[in-house]
Amino acid sequence: MSNMTPNSNVSYCPLIEMMRNFSSKSNEVNWVVVSLHGLVSCLGILENALIIWVLGFRLRQHTVISIWVLNLSLSDFLACLTLPLFTAYLSLSKSWELSDFLCTAQSSIFYVNMFVSAFLLTVISLDRLLLVVKPVWSKNHRSVAGAWKVCALGWLWAVINTAPYSVFRSVIERHDGKKLCYHNFALYLSVNESLETVCAVREQATAISKMLFAFLFPLVIITASYIKIALRLNDLVRRRKQNDKRMNDILTRGGSSEVNNIPLKTTDNNFSPKSFTADSSTKAKSNATSSSTSAPSLLPKSFTKMTALVIIAFTLFWAPYHILCMMEVAFYQKEIADTRLPLAATFSFLNPVLNPVLYAFSCPQFCLKIRQNLTAVFEGLIEEGGLLMVPGSFKPQKSQDVDFKL
């Protein structure tokens, strides 16, 4: 017989006991907040579904970059699917009247999205770094199949880190009759262990682990990667300017005299050493100028801009949540657990809603392709009855396929 079983008497950690003793001052529902939350939920679902449709089904050819963005959108889409559950929670005077399964599912998807987003943004930054530092290696080893394997590893990593939160998530009834969907770390407690000690260890371990693995470590790696990229690009620009200056010095000081001193043997009566010198100098100058003004870009500007905006948004939306999680464990204050932390969690849920907007506005060509695809769909709906009259009559035009090359 195992000593690790759920407590039949349903014990609670000190933090949960403090939350159970909360009493709401008012049971009135703020329907303005509920309505706004519902609209944002629907908007997030539609936005991410549109991104998934374009990247998953309308591409002529997938690229490594499209795989990164597609998996980010899948994670955000799953997170947005749980937002209506929180809308229902708000509409029921902040009482979780839904099932235990939905409580666990909502929490699990929330943490999966957090870990997957941090993992993929870190991978994207390292991928950008390798493109700059090891361009030949990247060209030979980067592949769509490899990107899918890395993404699968990221999803597995997220599921493993989410497991503790899923195991201890439960619906907890407060003394005022309302219900909470929260972690009860007193579950699966050994009979030989102290309740306070185990609760403290589990609360601190989960708070610190998600702070490190879903925020600090990724942020450090991302920052270090882009600092290295900036230094590397500045070094390449400096070398290119030095080479251009050296070429211009050769052309202005000794290029013509050196060419005139070359012995020439030719039978062409129309050939002149002076004309050869002039043509050579002109071509060399034009090549030097073109190399300095139209140097190939190592990183696509639109995707670099999009990545920077997504990383900044990730940092701003998730930082308050992680800070308050650490404060909750450290101080056990009523205001943090009852008001500030739920507000921070709701604020972090805006991140998956905002990401599709960042994709569109940072990549104008991508936004254009989305409009083209929507136009094709609506044309199929209204043309001679379209889908409304003749089932199966809609055939997407190949000319509207997205050529997503970033």
Which two tokens mark 46? 């539609």
DSSP calls for 294-337: SPPPSS-HHHHHHHHHHHHHHHHHHHHHHHHHHHHHHH--HHII
- For 347-382, b where at least 16 C-beta lie within 10 A, e where not — what string? ebbebbbbbbebbbebbeebeebbebbeebeeeeee
Ranges 106-110, 280-284, 316-320: which has the least confidence = 280-284
Q: What is the mean pLDDT of residues 28-47?
A: 88
Distance of alpha carbon 220 from its chain centroid, rounded?
16
Residue 180, beta-bridge partner list: 172
Residue 147 identity: A
Distance of alpha carbon 140 from its chain centroid, rounded?
26
Residues in Cβ contact with 279 at an 8 Å cutoff, skipping those fewer than 6 apart: none
Q: Under a CB-based contact definition with an 8 Å cutoff, are residues 109 and 148 in contact?
A: no
Asked if pLDDT for residue 143 goes beyond 50, the answer is yes
Residues in Cβ contact with 202 at an 8 Å cutoff, skipping those fewer than 6 apart: 164, 168, 185
Q: Under a CB-based contact definition with an 8 Å cutoff, are residues 6 and 188 in contact?
A: yes
Cα four-point dihedral sign 233, 55, 358, 378: positive
Residue 76's pLDDT band, with cuts at 50, 70 and 90, is: very high
- For 32-58, b where at least 16 C-beta lie within 10 A, e where not — what string? eebeebbebbeebbebbebbbebbeeb
> pLDDT of 297-335, one tens digit each?
556 677 777 788 889 999 999 999 999 888 888 877 767
Asked if pLDDT for residue 291 goes beyond 80, the answer is no
Which two tokens mark 18? 């403090």
The whole-model pTM stands at 0.78
Q: What is the mean pLDDT of residues 17-41?
A: 82
Q: What is the pLDDT of residue 365?
A: 62
Which two tokens mark 197? 């000690």
Q: What is the pLDDT of residue 367?
A: 63
Maximum Cα–Cα distance across the chain: 109
Residues in Cβ contact with 104 at an 8 Å cutoff, skipping those fewer than 6 apart: 166, 169, 170
Identify the CA nearest to 62 among candidates 76, 52, 48, 47.
52
Topology at the third CATH level for domain 14-252+275-294+307-362: Rhopdopsin 7-helix transmembrane proteins (1.20.1070)
Asked if pLDDT for residue 261 goes beyond 70, the answer is no
Q: Give residue limits of the domains in the chain.
A: 14-252+275-294+307-362
Cα–Cα distances in Å, from 315 out to 107, 290, 351?
Answer: 20, 40, 10
